[in-house]
Structure 1
Amino acid sequence: MSVISASSPTTPPVAAPRGSSMIARQAIVDIDKTVIGYELFNRSRAPDEHTAATDVLLLFTALSHAGSEDLVGTKLLFVNSTHESLAGGHLELLNPEKVVLEVEPLGHVAASETVARLPILRALRERGFKLSFNHTVLESAYNAWLPLADYIKLDLNVLRPEQLVVLVSYAARQSKAQLIATKVETQEQFDLLKSIGVSLFQGYWFSRPAVVEAKLLAPNQVSIIQLINLLRRQASTDAIEEVLKKDAGLAFNLMRLINSAGFGNAREITSFRQAVMIMGLKKLFRWAALLLTASKYGNTSPIVGHTAVIRGRLMELLALEFMSEEDAEQAFVVGIFSLLDVMLSIPLQDALHLINVPDAVRQALLSHEGVFGELLRLAEACESSNDEAFDQAASALKLTSQQINWAHLQALAWCEQITQ
């Protein structure tokens, strides 16, 4: 859900419902008014509460957002960063090519203090991140930073027109940075900026910040802690996959991150094992630690997640009667994601836009097509005690009542192991 806000990024925070966070996104456009990127602001906290912790939570929430609108998208993402957060491990979860880190000035400092920050800034550039600074980077104290600038922001609320002319000329001579004029509110300002060589713009004249209620699907904290402990011990992929499969929220969040444009993966993921292999233990540990911090904001009923896990396990066990293990894994994915619409409070079709699943899985979820769709009908019939639907699905799948009942009991017992 999104609404257009007439407030500026410095206005008081907006109260967010439990299970969500208010994030503002404002466009940055080129001279033709084409959007090249978005700047993110955390609207759930006051501006003076900008800390390394809020930076981490903002980025994690944007990447894990479980609404129908993608906060990150395919454009550049400009993110305000404290110097403490620039050294944070959470940046390992991002696709550097998509992210511009907006570096805060240090205030009135000696050149030696700016030089001391160089190793971190250089390392970020070497990893592929772009760096943005405000106009103070053009001061002599920041000479060491200037060669690292990909973007320099010029605040029209602070700088007079005659200052702009001087700064734009100096930046063109001393750096390769693109200049972004911010707080642009009139046609006259836009015309002046174009005439002196500014090529990127941000402000109310182009678009006001759009406030998005960023929803989180929070897993059970016990599951997250169990996952973290396994990762610390460098446990086997089998053990890690087992934990993921026993918590629908945990499974969804991992698939959501991997499919986020900010993460940078374009591959179709067909199993949780594949997701674990793509992430690697180090990134998984970072992600799980962040998820534990963010999980307190979730509001999903544990009963829904519990039902989804039982469905997935039941369908997997039944699929193993006549399918390969690989195909049975996809049956599990269908079951565990079959209640995403309930968990996220959005239509299932919108929920599936957030994750990349095979066509057979998608069709089974949306219209009960194919063998996976028939397995889903059977799982639903087991829950509702619908004898007619049970008999039809069992006949179509050539499964006996004994096979189905035994698999259902196994699925219930398997799920109970993590809720005691």
Structure 2
Amino acid sequence: MSECIIARQPIFDINLKIYGYELLFRRISMDNSSAFDPDEATSSVLVNGMFLIGLQELTRGKPAFVNFSRKMLINDVMTFLPNKDIAIEVLETVEPDETCLLACKRLKEAGYKIVLDDFVYHTKFDPFIAIADIIKVDFLLSSPTECRALPKRFQERKDLIFLAEKVESYDQYAQAMKWGYSLFQGYFFCKPVVLNTRDIQGNRLVYFQLLKELNDPLVGFDQLERIIQRDVSLSYKILKYVNSAAMGIRTKINSVRQALTMLGKQNMEKFVTLVLLKGLSADKPNELLITAIIRGRFAELIAARLRLRGQTSTAFLIGMLSLADALLDRTMEKFLSELPLSDDIVAALLRKPSVLTSILEMVIAYEQGNWEVYETYCRKLNITSGEVNNMYMDAVIWELNIEH
């Protein structure tokens, strides 16, 4: 018996807008007696993604990049899915024999994008390249010389797009652009660009000051209301979030006082922090805030499952603030020194051992498809993969409801 868990990894265009998401999956065997079957895992992703979760919700209406083995390609299993929703990643292990080439040509003629995954050039792959739409190059496995050479080799193919994957820093992202790559995948966008002389300026300073007051344990309810009401835009955003589908409140909320009363102090802190981080992230890729929100909700749901009474809101803040260094382009230590956060939050964000730290580590491992680390934390927290998978999907959909 087995189950399949699904995560997603964003793919950016040259302007750091979302182009699509690669669906990462892992089959979890209940008895550990059978080998990993990529065909079964891909089928599970498609069935779960399309029918149980909804591909539109999972990928925000952007194309889903899905790995395909030889067997999946030649069986034409894709024809029941709209071609605009799927980009077919041909695994690097697939040989370009006549049967596979014919299958890929049929799929391309049907309107599906053909993507060559983890590509390393060899002349035998020329027939695949001739019909490919996108070539993915792994920046960790390939040398800088190889990464630079591929776009140059095929520069006459104006229709061929090069995707740099495993990009782990903004320097790599900038270098890849210079070499001719126009799509990018990796967690470079979650890293801060720390400049020693940089300070927080303009509206970002106002938001940061509000965030400091919000996290002061001595701040009172009336004081927080006055803070919010100083900024018309902030008041509007709070009302919008409270009235969103994610809150499930049937009565229309029309005043800040009413919103704060309805939320209660813990939820109020959570949602105000969410709004303020959105203000602080104005010059960052939107996906960075999306990731922070999903981390927060994901961590909150796990804490609730573990029955950590009184700490679910803390878990939410830890998940959200785990990307504060990237949002503010300063080290986490610097960020934490400037806010009066609780010891539990500080310890988790500095990765000091605690149950909240374990939740954060599991959230990040799941998000990035680091399955071995993720499974270690599942065992440590005594929680099943199926439960965590459902909570991750709930967090993804919850974030989407907040946006709308």
With the shorter chain as reference, the TM-score category is 0.3 to 0.5
Give TM-score, length-normalised by structure 2: 0.43
Greater relative contact order (CA < 8 Å, ≥ 6 in sequence): 1
Give TM-score, length-normalised by structure 1: 0.42
